[in-house]
Amino acid sequence: MSSYTLFFNPMSRAMIAKWAFAEAGVEPELVMVEWENKPQSLLDANPMGKLPTVIHHHGEHDHVITEAAAICHYLAEMEAPDLLPRSEEKADYFRWLLFAAGPMESAVMNHAMGWDPAGERQEGMAGFGSYSRVMDTMDAMLSSRDYVCGDRFTMADVYVGSQFDWGLNFGTVEPRDSFRAYQARLQAREAYRQGMGPAED
């Protein structure tokens, strides 16, 4: 039995967790979730009923972890220390991981759903400022380096990279050169192909 249960649906952010597991070299037990018929075990673990939801069966204890960005970092902490940031990489790692999970995700989702802050006052109140400020900020970051922390792939790239991978595939992120090049670097990874490939169960 695997030490991890991943509640899963291929058309969801659970794919981010699946890729993170592949990078960590750990195979979780997948529990397929149908949106219209969510298992009680998912709702018990996560009353939000959202995917990804992970249960870590750790010794005597079961630990629930939700939020794709947190799951990525948790797996690196528990299973793949090489994918954690070194001390000189920590600022970039946490800065961009949390920027992608908060401001970037909000900017992209709001924009895709047809809402953008109107004017300077609303931009000042919205944590993401505006969609175009987020795109420009990420473009500047990804034009200056290959990965979030510089030359080296870390677990932050699974989450940040997923924002670009999904966003470019669904047309919600602008197809800028730096974004496409980053996506191509990530897609060339063996663990990406393994994680994003079809589930075996």
Binding site for ligand GSH (CB under 6 A): 12-13, 49-52, 67-68
Nearest approach, Cβ of 129 to ligand GSH (angstroms)? 20
Nearest approach, Cβ of 152 to ligand GSH (angstroms)? 24
> Given the complex with ligand GSH, which of 65 and 149 has the nearer CB atom?
65
- Cα–Cα distance, 177 to 147 (Å, whole number): 14
Q: What is the dihedral of CA 158, 163, 169, 170, to 10 degrees?
A: 150
Nearest approach, Cβ of 143 to ligand GSH (angstroms)? 26
Beta strands in 21-127 (DSSP E): 29-32, 53-58, 61-66
- Cα–Cα distance, 143 to 133 (Å, whole number): 15
Burial level of 174, CB count in 10 A (0-12/13-18/19+)? middle
Q: What are phi and psi of 127, to 5 degrees?
A: -60, -25
> Given the complex with ligand GSH, which of 67 and 79 has the nearer CB atom?
67
> Given the complex with ligand GSH, which of 52 and 117 has the nearer CB atom?
52
Nearest approach, Cβ of 33 to ligand GSH (angstroms)? 8
Nearest approach, Cβ of 147 to ligand GSH (angstroms)? 21
> Given the complex with ligand GSH, which of 77 and 177 has the nearer CB atom?
77
> Given the complex with ligand GSH, which of 52 and 85 has the nearer CB atom?
52
> Given the complex with ligand GSH, which of 24 and 100 has the nearer CB atom?
100
Angle between helices 90-99 and 68-79 (to 10 degrees): 150
Per-residue tokens: 125: 């109140």
- Distances, alpha carbon 3 to alpha carbons 8, 104, 150, in Å: 16, 32, 32
Nearest approach, Cβ of 51 to ligand GSH (angstroms)? 4
